[in-house]
Amino acid sequence: MTNQKSIILLRGLPGSGKTTLAKVLSDNEKYPVHSIDDYFTDKKTGEYKFIFEENYLAYKKCEDDTRKSLADQIEKVFVENTFTIEWEMEPYFKLASEFGYTIYVTTIENRHGSKNIHGVTDEQLQKMAEKYKVKLI
């Protein structure tokens, strides 16, 4: 097999294990992992603090960071976000096409019963799940 450049989107509800799986798949951070959560996480303390009014900045930063990794021709690039709505993935499909990457979308299920660390309520999770569409064909 040739060295295929891949961008892998890891999607799932908060608490599903996206971040944990991304760390495993990144081969001890050999490959970059980008996330909207990075914007809201303090680099020194690791504390996560979501600010709704800045969410658009987090989306922009994640896309910009991903663009840089693809421009650098890194073999594998991971992006982990909820991606509950189709349009949230569209910029990454465009980036993959622009830079000649094959894109894969992996849905992470919370089969292990983990709780999210972001303070998302069960009611909010249910609403997110109702919007969630999986394309099998």
**CATH code, domain carrying 122:** 3.40.50.300
What is residue 113's predicted lDDT score, i.e. its pLDDT? 77
Residue 1 domain flag:
no
Residue 131 has pLDDT above 90, yes or no: no
Full residue range of the structural domain in which residue 105 is found: 6-131
Domain tally, the chain: 1
Confidence of residue 37 (pLDDT cuts 50, 70, 90): very high
Backbone angles phi, psi at 110, to 5 degrees: -90, 70
Domain for residue 14, yes or no? yes
pLDDT (average), residues 3-27: 93
- Domain presence at residue 48: yes
Q: What are phi and psi of 34, to 5 degrees?
A: -115, 145
In a domain, 137, yes or no: no
Residue 87 confidence (pLDDT):
92
Does the residue 136 lie in any domain? no
User: Would you say 48 and 40 are in contact if contact means Cβ atoms under 8 Å apart?
Assistant: yes
Name the most confidently modeled range: 38-42, 84-88, 92-96, 117-121. Answer: 92-96
- Check residue 128 and give its pLDDT: 85
> Is 122 domain-assigned?
yes
Q: CA 32, CA 22: separation in Å to the nearest integer?
A: 9
Whether 45 is in a domain gets the answer yes
Separation of alpha carbons 96 and 11, rounded Å:
17
pTM: 0.89
| Alpha carbons 38 and 19: distance in angstroms, whole number | 11
- 54, part of any domain: yes
